[in-house]
Structure 1
């Protein structure tokens, strides 16, 4: 078998990125992936554990097809698949998120619980003892001083953003934040919480563009 050019392998700081041609037959991709792992790139892909990210371009894939890609990569015992990403799926998720965005104004006081299937934008404050629980993102254009749970059905890509982040507790998917005194910066800048490798992190929303190409907080909604 001669070497094909449907797959490009690039080294990055975090490991390797596999760029898969989104125009060829899926079976051709699998054949070439097998070939590169066992023949042309065998020496490169040997050694210690390597984190792998797979980029599918605009190709739409089923979960079964993703599992087949993972299965081939895992035949090399040192390749640890971190993500399989498709631009088509990201666009679909972004559109879905916009359609499900709920906007509400007012104050959520102690004892009140607001739940929503999708993302929520609160034009107001969340007081201590109050709670917001959403399957999508949570944006608070005010003080977030209560409990906020984003990605409540397991969406680890969800975020929680607020003009003033002073929560009693944050949750994203199944991950619960550390006690606020351990990570609060005391900075008055607008911040957001997100998951990175399963650990909750907090950063200024000026850095949100690194995760989101079209973050809602930049649109003046």
Structure 2
């Protein structure tokens, strides 16, 4: 007896989670480090993130969220220097659970956060709430972006033209390209997992939504171009045609 097919339509990209996450709370921005990833991966992901963010976080004091992770003194000093030099970010306080780390930061003179940013300290800014506030606020770029060009929008970004290989488009909300997207697109920076990327012809070098990274498979350049949407579903970036997206519940 045949049953309904509940298989999700669309292509699931090979996706990995970054080892660092910036999250916005009402009491400020938290930089959360993965508890088990090698430090060299954290260092690389942070460097990549800060480079792409440009002045997005400039001057912002943050809470460094370690949880149970233990950092060596030189590792902490390196992170502190990277944040200051690459983005003008200062560490205002630290949340950590390990007594050895608490002792180190007391001696270093950094305040300790009493909780990791739960409801007692401030409600997490919900991505959908941010989208609702952003929907009428978009930076519109009416040109084709060439290799080496980068556009950063604090909210939504609309490009009327192509995004060529070597070009980057970055937004705190959605990225919409009325043309061919062949470069790098990062929507929902830093933590807006409800953001989407839409293009009339989606052939990106790399896609990022919030802290998820997707590398699309090779596609036939002669295939018929159809409008597509990339979004987060579960722990993956999924690409669907806009027509299929409308049919999903």
Alignment TM-score, normalising by the size of structure 2: 0.46
Structure-1 separation of matches of 2:172 and 2:198: 15
3-state SS, counterpart of residue 142 of structure 1: strand
In structure 2, relative to structure 1, the CA distance for the partners of 1:195 and 1:184 (3 Å cut) is farther
In structure 2, relative to structure 1, the CA distance for the partners of 1:198 and 1:179 (3 Å cut) is same
In structure 2, relative to structure 1, the CA distance for the partners of 1:160 and 1:185 (3 Å cut) is farther
- 1:181 aligned to 2:218? yes
Q: Is the 8 A contact 1:100 1:117 kept in 2?
A: no
Gapped runs of 5+ residues in structure 1?
1-12, 14-62, 68-85, 213-221
Q: Where does structure 1 differ by over 3 angstroms across 4 or more consecutive aligned residues?
A: 92-95, 182-187, 207-212
- 1:206 aligned to 2:243? yes
Q: Bigger relative contact order, structure 1 or 2, given CA contacts below 8 A and separation 6+?
A: 2
Which of 113, 116, 119 pairs up with 1:64? 119
Deviations 1:96-151 (A, max 9, x none): 12232122210110001100100111110000000001111000000000000001
Q: Is the 8 A contact 1:145 1:166 kept in 2?
A: yes
Deviations 1:180-205 (A, max 9, x none): 32899945210011111020110011
Counterpart for residue 167 of structure 2: 130
In structure 2, relative to structure 1, the CA distance for the partners of 1:178 and 1:105 (3 Å cut) is same
Counterpart for residue 138 of structure 2: 101
In structure 2, relative to structure 1, the CA distance for the partners of 1:95 and 1:174 (3 Å cut) is closer
Structure-2 separation of matches of 1:161 and 1:132: 12
TM-aligned CA deviation for residue 166 of structure 1: 0.5
Counterpart for residue 193 of structure 2: 156
3-state SS, counterpart of residue 244 of structure 2: helix
TM-aligned CA deviation for residue 211 of structure 1: 7.8
Which of 165, 178, 186 pairs up with 2:202? 165
- 1:141 aligned to 2:196? no
Structure-1 separation of matches of 2:216 and 2:245: 23
Question: For 1:42-121, what aligned pairs fall within 5 Å after superposition?
Answer: 64=119, 90=128, 92-121=129-158
What RMSD over aligned residues (CA atoms) do the two structures have, in Å? 3.6
Greater C-alpha Rg = 1
Alignment TM-score, normalising by the size of structure 1: 0.51
